[in-house]
A and B are shown apart, each in its own frame.
Chain A
Amino acid sequence: MTTTIQETDERIIAFLSGELDTAAAAQTEKDLQPLLNSKGKEIVLDCKELQYISSSGLRVLLSILKQAQSVGSRVVLKNVNDVIHDVLDISGFISIFDIE
């Protein structure tokens, strides 16, 4: 599981790649720390290379969302594949994230 973060003037983009399972969750959460300091910029999570996500992974996404919402940032999930979409759907997360 690897994460890459790009920051521009308007937004912070995090590219998630690999399998965000329970084992990988803790490290990923650490890697995404910069997103917690968004200062109102839009946060984009690009899931193009993300193949798998467990509930621990969802927890990571949720904590980013909560933080962002508290500072008025928007969180967008991009390029979500079917498998991930299914999980978001079952867990009800589909209603709290912006998915493009």
Chain B
Amino acid sequence: MIEILSASALATVQDLGRLGALRWGVGTSGAMDPLALAAGNLLLGNDVDAAAVEVPVFPFQVRFTEDGAFALTGADCAARLDDVPLLPWWVGEARAGQVLTLGLPRAGAWRASRAYLCLPGGIDVPAVLGSRSTQLRGDFGGHEGRTLRQGDVLRAGAAESGAPVGGFGLVPPALVLPLQVDGVPAMRVLPAAEYAHYTEASRAAFWAGEWKITSQSDRYGYRLAGTPLEAGANVEMRSHGIVPGVIQVPPGGQPIVQMRDAQPSGGYPKLGTVIEADLWRLGQAPIGSRVRFIETTWDEAISALDQMQAWLANVQRLVALYRRQQARS
């Protein structure tokens, strides 16, 4: 059980997303970095989909009100338990009364912007429409349908998971599955229906350019700054379903990438969609950083999805082996 000590941290309870409710206008929500959330759960022996706390703003502090294990993944935020430094992507034990502090994310080998705090059995909040993710527009799901506040208490779903003494951790996927172009983090994109409507110069600029993630970026969408993109004709479109990763270009010419809390439908022209396998990379790209886009094919995108799922399956297997072995010794 943890008590939130920080104010205005924009932290929310998320799992892997609310699926199957698009028919009612309910988007998926869920973790901006689903791999980090899943890995944190696996370190604790949870289901991959258990709810966790997503922390986008730092510093962030919680107090453990009971003894228990916890896992911390995502950004390396110089975490401390009281005054003891913690390793990133690690599972450990806390005692009642100890304070967990997450500091500003460090640059290091991977520049990330969100951390995930997982508890045994997941964060115990009611499932709404099949998920524990927070639906901010509409105020339901997660913890009371809102961002966490000072004084909120979150329970763990299970009594104890028994982390091995000394803890253990994982090599983050960013280091195992790197993707960069000219030293800049990159995401693969599949062209969308209106791709051909954009001028050839604009299309070339989209692939060749570095796109800055502006400060008007959040869970709803990332507003990018770069070469203004021009459509050949300004087509007023019929509202249609969209998914996280869809890159829309409003009349100003500056692309917006729809993210986890985006509306599940829209009517702006679409240039392309960041593939599902790379959404976590974008979800972790910090405000002010630059990203590149790589044109990909359907087959390559499916292969990337397989690769991501294989990483997760491998982690699941190794962690289960290690936890079993440690439990026996």
- Note whether A and B form a binding pair: no
